[in-house]
Structure 1
Amino acid sequence: MSNTEIHDKKLNTIDENATLQTTCSNCQEVLTGSYCSHCGQSSESNIKYFWTVILHLLDDIFSFDSRASRTIWPLLTRPGFLTNEYILGRRVHYVPPLRLYLFISIIFFITLKFFAASENSNIIRITNEERALTQVTEQIAELEQQYEVMLTLGKSTEEIQQVKHKLDTFNNYQQDLSNPDNKVLKAIAIELVSLELRKLESNKPLSDKYQKQYTALTKQIEKVRKGEKVNLLSLGNSSDGTISFEFLSAEQNLKINNFANQLEEKATKAFQTGTGPLLQQTISKLPQLMFVLLPLFAALLKIMYMFSSRFYMEHLTVALHSHSFVFFIILQIEIIDMVQDSLFKNISWLDSILTLISVILLMWIPIYLFIMQKRVYKQGYIVTCIKYTIVGMAYTALISITAMIAFVWGLTSL
């Protein structure tokens, strides 16, 4: 083959490649831009090296000039701004609400799981134990002083015996709370101490609700002290402690009771051996449940503002931005708490400053959400305040149900 033929073949190859690059891979129409004018397909191939995709993603997230950097600051400091911008159609400069929520929630729940694991697998915080033990010690000192005064004044045997009984009760609680190994014993003792102090402070008998709880806990703690096994998770709705629904058959009720017994056993075992695995399993269920809760919260807003002529997607945007904000703030508080415990615990003035920052961030959450609701829905302060209170109460109920479902779901995964 002559040099001229080789040269012509190379030119033909270049022309073919140029044709391939300037025609749509889908419909073979000539491309005049980044997208095909005939079918709309992008001219850029989505088949790339994996690391190229990762680098582009990281650059989009962390680049100073990226949409993420222009989104986070107004998300934290300008209530309702991002939502109004998105509703008005000014969206190109900011991260879309769903992508923003997914990115922040993934980081939030991963970090939350990490912080939970670093708590030494103990859901009963040491601070709660110490506070209960301090309260019991103070009460013992008061009762001992009262007992000595009664003996000196020659009070009736009945009055002296009552004080002696209280003193013995609190001495037992002190021993329970000082037990280094039995977490179940400590958990029950903390609840009983709370009820005892409630009774002493009011100087009245407990209400029926609290008295029933007190009686049940007293029976449980006596069993634990004797080394017997108890179930801390009581799911029964009948007087005998079982679950029974009239609209279900006996066989179906039996299946439910068997399932409830399994949960009770798992919960008791978790408290006895360490609640770290249970806590981590519970946290791992929250992202899915929160993703279900979001449209429910948007539906709640839709009901509250049914006469505002707003689309459901506008309310969903409010839900996405508000949850993204709350998750981001809580994440900052967790980081500050970790820094306090690991670095500045012995530097009192710096520890106080970080605590103050955490308190300010925590207070900013309800203030931010109120301002956001006011700016997005553009109603008066009184109307906004009423609706904000109703929405807050309803959402608290929803989040409580969500937490309970996550807990039970976490138990089933153990």
Structure 2
Amino acid sequence: MSQENQVVNINSSLSSQEEVSVINDSEAVAQTLCDNCHQSVEGAFCSNCGQSLDSTLKYFWVVILHLLDDIFSFDSRASRTLWPLIFRPGFLTNEYFSGRRVHYVPPLRLYLFISIMFFLTLKLTVSGEDQQTIEMNNNKAAITQVTEHIKTLNEKKLQAQPTPDNKNIASIDADLARFNRYLDDLKLDISIAENAKLVSTTRQLATIELERANLGTDDKSNSITISNSADGSLSFDFLSDESNKKLDDSAKKLAEKAKKTFTTDTNRLINEVLGKLPQLMFVLLPIFALLLKVIFIFSKRLYMEHLTVALHSHSFIFVSSLSIDLLDVAHDHVKALGGGFATAAASILGFIGFALLIWIPIYLFIMQKRIYKQGYIFAFFTYGFVGIIYFILMALTTVVAIVWGLTEI
């Protein structure tokens, strides 16, 4: 090889090394370092410590938008999730168990979204009910008591001994006339402002008259007591006398509050209960999953799989109940329009709501059968047993929500 060729080769080699050096320098410049461990990062997460490169220090409105997007924006997964959730029992759960998850909304996010919408809508529909309905519900107890008192007065009149001046019968007739007038006023349409005032005043007067007759709130049959002993007190052997006294005092205050609430404005208590139920239902979910784990212990499924079943089944119940509630509201509004077309449309809405109500237990049965691979007979018995236990759990949850609600009033 000639000397000139050697010089050319050396120069080209040096040139190549310089190019490599320039490329490496440019890569070093473009390299991203992790803020936590200061290692080079390729991608959105550090391979060394796992920290995301996306900073949490952002404008507040950007954070709010991201949060709303995480909660409410299900993009195309929503349509692929909601349809099988309502009409294909067990499909979503089996897809999740099989590892095909990317096309569907995750179970926990699905439950949170649907439960928020359900309880929010339920609270709005209860709070937004027509005042007439609420007032008439409050009048039911008064109307019943007045009617019973009129019946008692009529019996007294038949048994009354006539006197020379007929004072006994005259007194009973006066009471009958007064309470019949109360009854007529209580049954007035209180959607009219003047009638609303009259009904409210009548209810107060009737209550006073009934209390004087010992048939109103002083009647022991109408009292509410929380006790476990013959003397009407609440106590437990494992507690000290001082603790039992505090417990009994708290129980009496709660009973008195419940008595006033149930006989006056129950709407406030309902709103309080609806505010507590979402939290209690979230606590009930893992308990229900544990129940499934115990009952279907031979299915060899993990606890998290049973929790997924609980999340999907409750999501279905909530979305169905939400649909039934909205259909019921639409039914009342359409029916109020009057006319043949409105009546037919209201009937259709009522039928759809009734069909959804019937579909809930059928759906849950089919879902259990498909997920746990059971025969019809065995599935029927386990479904009944789970249903009974769940009904008891729901009853206890409702009682806790009522007691909790009473403490907040």
Taking structure 2 as the reference length, the TM-score comes to: 0.71
Structure 1 residue corresponding to 2:77, chosen from 58, 67, 73: 67
The percentage of counterpart residues that share the same residue type is: 54
Q: Which amino acid aligns with 2:60?
A: F
Alpha carbons 1:101, 1:324 under 8 Å: kept: yes
Greater radius of gyration (CA): 2
Partner of 2:306: 315
Structure 2 residue corresponding to 1:46, chosen from 39, 45, 56: 56
Does residue 271 of structure 2 align to residue 280 of structure 1? yes
Partner of 2:39: 29
Q: Which amino acid aligns with 2:250?
A: F
Alpha carbons 1:123, 1:275 under 8 Å: kept: no
Supply the distance in 2 between the matched residues of 1:254 and 1:319 (Cα, whole angstroms): 41
Alpha carbons 1:333, 1:358 under 8 Å: kept: yes
Aligned positions of 1:239-278 closer than 5 A: 239-278=230-269
Supply the distance in 2 between the matched residues of 1:45 and 1:102 (Cα, whole angstroms): 26
Structure 2 residue corresponding to 1:103, chosen from 99, 104, 113: 113
Deviation at 1:60, TM superposition (A): 5.7
Aligned positions of 1:388-407 closer than 5 A: 388-407=383-402
Supply the distance in 2 between the matched residues of 1:56 and 1:124 (Cα, whole angstroms): 41
Structure 2 residue corresponding to 1:332, chosen from 323, 330, 344: 323
Deviation at 1:39, TM superposition (A): 2.3
Deviation at 1:235, TM superposition (A): 1.5
1:53-100 CA-to-partner distances (Å, cap 9, x unmatched) read 444455566668432332222111111111111122221222211111
Q: Which amino acid aligns with 1:52?
A: V
Q: Which amino acid aligns with 1:47?
A: L
Q: Which amino acid aligns with 2:286?
A: P
Supply the distance in 1 between the matched residues of 2:107 and 2:287 (Cα, whole angstroms): 17
SS in structure 2 at match of 1:307 = helix
Query: Relative to 1, partners in 2 of residues 1:87 and 1:397: Cα closer, same or farther, differing over 3 Å?
Result: same
Q: How many residues align?
A: 338
Gaps of 5+ in 2: 1-24, 155-175, 188-198
Does residue 322 of structure 2 align to residue 306 of structure 1? no
Supply the distance in 2 between the matched residues of 1:38 and 1:289 (Cα, whole angstroms): 40
Q: Which amino acid aligns with 2:105?
A: V
Tell me which moved more, 233-242 or 318-327.
233-242
Deviation at 1:124, TM superposition (A): 7.5
Deviation at 1:406, TM superposition (A): 0.5
Partner of 2:103: 93
**RMSD across aligned C-alpha pairs, in angstroms?**
4.0
Structure 1 residue corresponding to 2:367, chosen from 369, 372, 379: 372
Gaps of 5+ in 1: 1-14, 145-167, 187-218
Deviation at 1:298, TM superposition (A): 0.7
Q: Which amino acid aligns with 1:255?
A: K
Does residue 345 of structure 2 align to residue 354 of structure 1? no
Deviation at 1:385, TM superposition (A): 0.7
Deviation at 1:184, TM superposition (A): 11
Query: Relative to 1, partners in 2 of residues 1:121 and 1:286: Cα closer, same or farther, differing over 3 Å?
Result: farther
